[in-house]
Amino acid sequence: GQCITHCPVGALSERDDTEKAWNALEDETKTVVVQVAPAVRASWAEQMGLSEEEAPVGKIFDALKKMGADYVFDTVFGADLTIMEEASEFLERFTAGDLKERPMFTSCCPGWVRFVKTEFPHMLSSLSTAKSPQQMFGAVMKSYFAEKIGKNPNDIVAISVMPCVAKKAEREMDMYYGEFAGHETDIVITTRELTRMIKSAHINVSNLENIPSDNPMEDGTGAGVIFGATGGVMEAALRTAYFTLKGENPPNDAFLRVRNDGSKDGSGIRESEFDIDGVKVRTAVVSGLGNTRELLERIDKGEANYDFVEVMACPGGCVGGGGQIIHDGQEKAFERGKKLYKLDDNYEYRCSHDNPDIKKLYDEYLGKPLSFKAHMLLHTEHKINN
Ligand code: SF4
Q: How would you write the pLDDT of the chain (386 residues) with one tens digit per residue?
A: 334 444 445 444 568 999 999 999 999 999 999 999 999 999 999 999 899 889 999 999 999 999 999 999 999 999 999 999 999 999 999 999 878 778 999 999 999 999 999 999 999 999 999 999 999 999 999 999 999 999 999 999 999 999 999 999 888 877 777 677 789 999 999 999 999 999 999 999 999 999 999 999 999 999 999 999 999 999 999 999 999 999 999 999 999 999 988 776 666 899 999 999 999 999 999 999 999 999 999 999 999 999 999 999 999 999 999 999 998 878 899 999 999 999 999 999 999 999 999 999 999 999 999 999 999 999 999 988 76
Task: Please list the alpha-helical segments (H only) found in the chain.
Answer: 3-6, 18-26, 45-48, 57-66, 75-95, 110-119, 133-140, 146-149, 167-173, 191-200, 222-225, 232-246, 289-300, 333-346, 356-361, 372-378
CB 366, CB 88: distance < 8 Å: no
Residue 241, C-beta contacts closer than 8 angstroms, at least 6 positions apart: 87, 90, 91, 276, 281
What is the spatial order of strands in the sheet that 31-36 belongs to?
71-74, 31-36, 156-162, 187-190
Residue 274's DSSP bridge partners are 281
Residue 282 to residue 308: CA distance in whole angstroms:
7
Atom 2 in ligand 1: which residue has the minimum CA distance? 318
Determine the Cα–Cα distance for residues 330 and 47; give it in Å rounded to an integer: 14
- Check pocket membership of 84 for ligand 1, CB cut-off 6 A: no
109 lines ligand 1 (CB under 6 A): yes
What letter does residue 362 receive in the DSSP assignment?
I
pLDDT for residue 266: 67
Per-position b or e across 31-58, b if 16+ CB within 10 A of its CB: bbbbbbbbbbbbbbbbbbebeeeebbbb
113 lines ligand 1 (CB under 6 A): no
ipTM of the complex: 0.99
Query: Cα separation of 172 and 152, whole Å?
Result: 21
How close is the Cα of 9 to the center of ligand 1, in Å? 10
Amino acid, res. 375? H
Q: How many other CB atoms are found less than 10 A from the CB of residue 101? A: 9
CB 313 within 8 Å of CB 233: no
Q: Report the length, in residues, of the chain.
A: 386
Q: Whose CA is nearest to atom 8 of ligand 1?
A: 109
Nearest CA to ligand 1 atom 3: 109
Q: What is the pTM of this model?
A: 0.94
Angle between helix axes 75-95 and 232-246 (nearest 10 degrees) is 60
Which of ligand 1's atoms lies nearest the C-alpha of 9? 6
Distance of alpha carbon 240 from the chain centroid: 16
Determine the distance separating the centroid of ligand 1 and the alpha carbon of 346, expressed in angstroms: 25
> Is the minimum distance from the CB of 164 to ligand 1 under 6 angstroms?
yes
Dihedral angle sign, alpha carbons of residues 336, 223, 283, 122:
negative
**Distance, CA 56 to ligand 1 centroid (Å)?**
21
Q: How far is CA 65 from CA 69, 73, 286, 295, in A?
A: 5, 11, 37, 43
For residue 94, how far is its CA from the centre of ligand 1 (angstroms)?
A: 26
Ligand 1 pocket, residue 312 CB under 6 Å = yes
**Å from CA of 167 to ligand 1 middle:** 8
CA distance 250 to 206: 40
Q: Is the CB of 320 under 6 A from ligand 1?
A: no
Is the CB of 3 within 6 Å of ligand 1? yes
Residue 298 has a CB neighbour count (10 Å cut-off) of: 15
Query: Is ligand 1 within 6 A of the CB of residue 163?
Result: yes
